[in-house]
């Protein structure tokens, strides 16, 4: 139980998986299910808040989060460009 209460960067924290997933999901929803400017900005704010929380909680370094965000965007691009079926299909 003591390990759960410590605030320190994990030994293997690169890249941040939370950031990767949050950025990919936020990007996906904004592009494919746009809910207007307010909703889209709230979804993006959620993705950024998840990312920043990893730094503020002391679980990741800035580079971990930055790399996670880049990987999340690349994962979305892979999904959108190569795996996503178009409406015509």
Catalytic residue among 50, 60, 64, 72: 60
- Reply yes or no on whether 18 is catalytic: yes
Confirm whether 32 is a catalytic residue: no
d(CA 9, CA 21): 19
User: Pick the catalytic residue: 15, 16, 18, 20?
Assistant: 18
Q: Is the distance from CB of 16 to CB of 67 less than 8 angstroms? A: yes
Enumerate the active-site residues.
18, 60
């Amino acid at each position: 139980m003591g390990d759960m209460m410590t605030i320190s960067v994990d030994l293997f924290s690169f890249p941040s998986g939370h950031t990767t997933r949050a950025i990919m999901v936020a990007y996906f929803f904004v592009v494919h299910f746009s809910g207007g400017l307010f909703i889209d900005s709230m979804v993006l704010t959620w993705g950024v808040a998840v990312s920043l929380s990893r730094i503020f909680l002391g679980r990741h370094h800035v580079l971990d989060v930055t790399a996670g965000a880049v990987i999340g965007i690349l994962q979305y691009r892979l999904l959108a460009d190569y795996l996503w079926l178009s409406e015509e299909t």
